[in-house]
Structure 1
Amino acid sequence: MGHYVSRYYITEVDRFPDTIYCHHAVMGEKFIPEHEHKKGQFLYTEGGVVYLNTPQQSYFLPARHYIWIPAGVRHSIHPSTPKVIMRNLYFPVSACDDVFFSKTAIYPVDNLLMELMMFTNRWNGNIRPEEESRYSIAKAFKMLLPELGRGALPLALPYPGDSRLVKIVEYLDEHVADNIGFKHVADHFGVSERSLARLFQKDLNMSFIQYFTILRMLKGLKLLLDDKLSINEVASKVGYSSLPTFSNTFTKIIGVRPSEYVKHRGLWYK
């Protein structure tokens, strides 16, 4: 399997506007610098956790999930290890594309999508329209995504613009294991609870509890996958004294029970 050091994502993906570009490779780099494509990108990874940053948000791509990146969205990719395997399909934009293809989002991968994706493992490079069989299969793969991707998961956190909120979210990041609440944070930073609530909603378009809960679950997922901790240990390290509460919250946000990650992480992260 090849490596990403060729920087194909800059030089090759958009060379021919009507082709579908396929690339499966070991990352081989510590990160992929910010860039964009004229084609939409399907990205799936194996062998480690991957962070993907856009100018607006930081996305967390765990095992058994993929991210759809619309054409024209600038992004950089940061894996937990250069040994991560990246599986990509890049599709030309069509005037009849579903609204699904206009949004950056993360979705779980079911067995059907996994089988189709692994089928494309035999291809690398441009798939041209005149290659009728391969092109039709790749195009059908794209057409299935809106049908299968009904439940986008909130595996992303927006970047705060307000300088006060930057310090507050940094504080939350440092205290995910602590039993702190909304009132504690408001008092610590000398603002009223009403002002703090408005700040989160206006700048991040989510409530304090939504932000802190997602932050805790993303931290928990990383501990579960990268550090190979037990579910009990992870729950404690992200501020949950109740294992059922942590498990239920994790399932609601991540889309898979933590026990499933423990059960399968050896297969997903070879």
Structure 2
Amino acid sequence: MKSKYYLTEVDKNPQSIFCYHDLKGETFVESHKHQKGQFLYSEGGVVHVKTNSRMYYLPARHYMWIPSGTKHAIYPSSSKVIMRNLYFPITSNSSSFYKKEGIYPINNLLLELLLFIKNWNGDITKSQKNKYAIVYAFKALLEQSITKSLHLELPHPKDGRLINIVNYLTNQIHREHLLPKLASNFSMTDKSLYRLFKKDLGMSFIKYYTQLRIFKSLEYLMNSDYNISEIANMVGYNSLPTFSNTFCNVMGKRPSAYRKSNEIYN
């Protein structure tokens, strides 16, 4: 069931809560959607979740809520990543939490429950009273324990020129890029490139570029033995304090503290 569970099994019983754990080593889950809403939790690295409009960066010890009917593909950043999934039936009168995409840090209570059910795979139905009570409570706790959704996503560019520029920035992430030089490389003025970022992506060049660098650094922090200074250089920062301060502004903690959260719970 491993390779196709998300296409063939999740919605077979519309009333069940479906569990799927330990997708360690899976490198790509093709674009698909479910009638059920999806809770996706990550350990051991970063998971990229691509929707029609955005690329989300789901770090270790966080979860993403994916609403029912949302088309998405999943790209773990390494084979070390473990993903844990719960799929819930969502009704039209469900709270707004279940109807919007979001990334949230997991709290201790949710994590303990998740580890308690880590060996449960497949449909959990109301006839399985003890199991169903636990996973149903898990769903209720999600909306009662949420903090503000973290903005760990970048929009997809639509303009062909900007698609090429964003691909260039991604492929040359180890270099520092300034707007005037970048614009010149693509035969544009810096003002026209600035306006293109604002119009197409709804954010400035510097905000997009900063988030791209920090999100990329998450992968190196979680999946490599490089030290923090080396990682700063790998995403184009010549100054370790500047990288550390920028990382803290985006992620809420220092890179060294973030790296410590990479331990996998068994």
TM-score, reference length from structure 2: 0.90
Contact 2:60–2:261 (8 Å) recurs in 1: no
- The counterpart of 1:176, out of the listed 170, 173, 176, is 173
For structure 1, the 5+ residue unaligned runs are none
Q: Shift of the alpha carbon at 1:269?
A: 8.6
| More displaced 10-residue stretch of structure 1: 11-20 or 101-110 | 101-110
Secondary structure (helix, strand or coil) at the match of 1:26 reads: coil
Secondary structure (helix, strand or coil) at the match of 1:97 reads: coil
Name the count of aligned residue pairs.
266
Q: Which amino acid aligns with 2:16?
A: T
Distance 1:189 1:84 in 2: 37
Distance 1:245 1:99 in 2: 38
1:228 aligns with 2:216: no
Contact 2:55–2:155 (8 Å) recurs in 1: yes
Aligned to 2:148: 151
Provide runs of 4+ in structure 1 moved above 4 Å: none
- The counterpart of 1:72, out of the listed 69, 81, 90, is 69
Aligned to 1:19: 16
**CA distance 1:131–1:15, change in 2 (3 Å):** same
Aligned to 1:251: 248
Distance 2:206 2:144 in 1: 31
Secondary structure (helix, strand or coil) at the match of 1:52 reads: strand
Aligned to 1:139: 136
Distance 1:10 1:221 in 2: 29
Contact 2:78–2:223 (8 Å) recurs in 1: no
Q: Shift of the alpha carbon at 1:189?
A: 2.2
| More displaced 10-residue stretch of structure 1: 95-104 or 35-44 | 95-104
Aligned to 2:162: 165
Contact 2:61–2:261 (8 Å) recurs in 1: no
Contact 1:48–1:63 (8 Å) recurs in 2: yes
Contact 2:10–2:34 (8 Å) recurs in 1: yes
| More displaced 10-residue stretch of structure 1: 199-208 or 82-91 | 82-91
- The counterpart of 2:2, out of the listed 4, 14, 34, is 4
Distance 2:199 2:69 in 1: 26
Q: Which amino acid aligns with 2:2?
A: Y
List per-residue Cα deviations over 1:98-127 (Å, max 9, x = no partner): 222222222212222211211221422211
- The counterpart of 2:46, out of the listed 44, 49, 56, is 49
Secondary structure (helix, strand or coil) at the match of 1:121 reads: coil
1:260 aligns with 2:237: no
Distance 2:245 2:264 in 1: 22
List per-residue Cα deviations over 1:61-96 (Å, max 9, x = no partner): 221111111111111222234453221100101223
TM-score, reference length from structure 1: 0.89
Aligned to 1:127: 124
Distance 1:82 1:216 in 2: 22
**CA distance 1:22–1:269, change in 2 (3 Å):** closer
For structure 2, the 5+ residue unaligned runs are none
List per-residue Cα deviations over 1:9-65 (Å, max 9, x = no partner): 111110111111111133454322111100000011233432222222222222111
Q: Which amino acid aligns with 2:236?
A: G
Distance 2:253 2:104 in 1: 11
Contact 1:47–1:269 (8 Å) recurs in 2: no
1:197 aligns with 2:194: yes
- The counterpart of 2:35, out of the listed 34, 38, 41, is 38
Distance 2:173 2:29 in 1: 28
Secondary structure (helix, strand or coil) at the match of 2:20 reads: strand
Secondary structure (helix, strand or coil) at the match of 2:39 reads: strand
Distance 1:131 1:241 in 2: 57
Q: Shift of the alpha carbon at 1:208?
A: 0.7
